[in-house]
């Protein structure tokens, strides 16, 4: 069941030399705020996904250190080593003596990361919701990362041109085509995955809340073909020229949580919103396992402080068949400390 056997860190944030054995299905790291608990999860995420969920490499490197190093031993006898040299501005991945500048796709493992700010996803900004779901979709659909990267490059070129004087429609045409092509495909993937989530959303919520409430996620973005998407971009030319940026597209779409037929933000209580997000996290794990044929590693970052005893129990019970690595400022009930910081 376990994927990670051991992790070692050198010069990684506040950790000079840190070693953590993950021999149990559940690893619990206890420490005060600022003691480096989240940094351990950040390093694990980087080893399994290829990048940090918090910062760029220079911000991770310990002050005045000449390098940072992550070494993760996996239970399939594979070892992942990450080295970063600030003088070369270079991060290197080494797996079974093979080196590369990026973590190869076939060496990435699915991860469910649960942070305290996830609890506030429903009432957060559209930008945060897009970022949240983009990260999930990248793990589920391998082509999503490529298409989103290409869309963002085309969008940047279009926005740069819109800031120039005497720009014409023809100058934007090739970038409009690229934005329409990738944008339409990205929307289709988003809608497909949200539909899969919604099939399980209410049942998972009811299992947690023990009531008959209904909840779902509504994806807010027009369902357009490539040609219709292109027409809309061209229709917005004068408006976008005046604004200096692209006002239409998938980069402005949103996700609305619906609770008993109304928007959850404004109608659901704080406890109900926590149960909705908990249900979403359970579904993430199940879909990731289904789509990747790998059981995801569950990283829970100080989340117990945000959940009452009932929801803590549901969280641990639902993820009992997965490897969990948990950080907390105190010891939750029926758990044994693996590492104190």
| Alpha-carbon gap, residue 334 to 233, rounded angstroms | 56
Contact 325, 297 (CB under 8 A): yes
Q: How many CA atoms lie within 13 A of 24 on its CB side?
A: 14
Q: Looking at the whole model, is its pTM more than 0.85?
A: yes
What are the pLDDT digits (tens) for 88-100?
888 999 998 899 9
Give me the pLDDT at residue 335, please: 82
Q: Average pLDDT over the chain, rounded to whole?
A: 94
pLDDT-derived band of residue 2, with 50, 70 and 90 as boundaries? Answer: confident
Give me the pLDDT at residue 182, please: 98
Contact 204, 282 (CB under 8 A): yes
**Strand, coil or helix: 297:** strand
pLDDT-derived band of residue 1, with 50, 70 and 90 as boundaries? Answer: confident
| Alpha-carbon gap, residue 245 to 179, rounded angstroms | 13
Give me the pLDDT at residue 220, please: 96
Which is it for strands 98-100 and 111-114: parallel, antiparallel or unpaired?
Answer: unpaired
Neighbours of 270 (CB within 10 A): 11
What are the pLDDT digits (tens) for 52-86?
999 999 999 998 899 999 999 998 888 999 999 99
Q: Is the pLDDT of residue 111 over 90?
A: yes
pLDDT-derived band of residue 340, with 50, 70 and 90 as boundaries? Answer: confident
Answer left, alpha or beta for residue 334, where phi above 0 means left and psi between -120 and 50 means alpha.
left
Q: How many CA atoms lie within 13 A of 181 on its CB side?
A: 13
What are the pLDDT digits (tens) for 265-305?
999 999 999 999 999 999 999 999 999 999 999 999 999 88
Give me the pLDDT at residue 168, please: 94
What average pLDDT does the segment 144-149 reach? Answer: 96
Give me the pLDDT at residue 97, please: 86
What average pLDDT does the segment 16-24 reach? Answer: 94
Name the token pair of 266.
């404004």
What average pLDDT does the segment 133-161 reach? Answer: 96
pLDDT-derived band of residue 337, with 50, 70 and 90 as boundaries? Answer: confident
Which one, of 28, 4, 17, lies nearest residue 312 by Cα?
28
What are the pLDDT digits (tens) for 151-205?
999 999 999 999 999 999 999 999 999 999 999 999 999 999 999 999 999 999 9
In order of their start, the domains of the chain are 1-109+297-341 (3.40.50.300), 118-293 (1.20.1050.90)
């Amino acid at each position: 069941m376990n994927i990670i056997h051991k992790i070692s860190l050198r010069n990684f944030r506040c950790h000079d030399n840190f070693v953590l054995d993950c021999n149990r299905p559940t690893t619990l790291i206890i420490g005060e705020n600022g003691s480096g608990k989240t940094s351990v999860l950040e390093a694990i995420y980087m080893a399994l996904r290829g990048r940090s969920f918090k910062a760029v490499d220079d911000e991770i490197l310990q002050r005045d250190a000449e390098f940072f190093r992550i070494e993760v031993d996996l239970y399939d006898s594979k070892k992942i080593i990450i080295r970063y040299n600030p003088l070369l501005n270079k991060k290197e991945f080494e797996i079974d003596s093979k080196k590369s500048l990026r973590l190869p796709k076939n060496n990435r493992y699915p991860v469910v990361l649960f942070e305290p700010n996830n609890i506030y996803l429903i009432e957060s900004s559209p930008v945060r919701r897009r970022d949240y779901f983009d990260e999930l979709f990248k793990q589920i659909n391998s082509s999503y990362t490529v298409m989103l990267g290409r869309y963002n490059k085309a969008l940047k070129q279009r926005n740069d041109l819109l800031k120039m004087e005497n720009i014409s429609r023809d100058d934007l045409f090739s970038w409009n085509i690229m934005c329409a092509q990738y944008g339409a495909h990205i929307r289709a993937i988003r809608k497909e995955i949200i539909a899969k989530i919604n099939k399980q959303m209410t049942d998972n919520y009811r299992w947690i809340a023990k009531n008959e409430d209904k909840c779902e996620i509504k994806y807010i973005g027009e369902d357009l073909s490539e040609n219709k998407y292109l027409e809309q971009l061209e229709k917005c030319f004068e408006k976008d020229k005046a604004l200096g940026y692209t006002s239409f597209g998938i980069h402005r779409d949103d996700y609305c949580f619906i609770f008993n037929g109304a928007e959850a933000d404004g109608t659901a209580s704080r406890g109900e919103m926590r149960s909705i997000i908990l249900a979403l996290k359970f579904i993430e794990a199940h879909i990731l396992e289904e789509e990747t044929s790998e059981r995801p590693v569950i990283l829970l970052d100080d989340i117990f402080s945000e959940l009452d005893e009932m929801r803590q129990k549901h969280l641990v019970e639902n993820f009992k068949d997965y490897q969990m690595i948990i950080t907390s400022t105190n010891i939750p009930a029926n758990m044994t400390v693996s590492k104190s910081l």
